[in-house]
């Protein structure tokens, strides 16, 4: 049972590592920065105020 939990922890860590801290804005091509609210992650472009939310997979 603990082996299954350890595998889930490793998978979760690998999934988090794939998120980029910055990405190109699809609207104005400036940089979007990764931000976090209490329970969600999103990218925001300070230049054009475009906001892109991430979806949490279960």
Range of the domain at 51: 20-58
pLDDT of residue 3: 59
pLDDT of residue 23: 92
pLDDT of residue 9: 58
pLDDT of residue 47: 94
Q: How many residues does the chain have?
A: 58
Let me know if residue 1 belongs to a domain.
Answer: no
Phi, psi of 3 (to 5 degrees): -65, -40
DSSP state of 47: T
pLDDT of residue 17: 56
Let me know if residue 52 belongs to a domain.
Answer: yes
Cβ contacts of residue 25 below 8 Å, gap of 6+?
31, 32, 45, 47, 48, 50
pTM, two decimals, is 0.62
How many structural domains is the chain composed of?
A: 1
- State the 10-residue block means of pLDDT for the chain, 58 residues long: 57 60 93 90 94 82
Six-digit token pair at 2?
Answer: 């603990």
On whether the CB atoms of residues 37 and 53 are closer than 8 A, the answer is no
């Amino acid at each position: 049972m603990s082996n299954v939990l350890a595998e889930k922890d490793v998978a979760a860590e690998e999934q988090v590592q794939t998120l980029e801290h910055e990405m190109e804005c699809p609207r104005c091509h400036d940089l979007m920065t990764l931000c976090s609210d209490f329970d969600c992650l999103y990218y925001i472009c300070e230049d054009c105020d475009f906001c892109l939310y991430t979806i949490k997979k279960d």
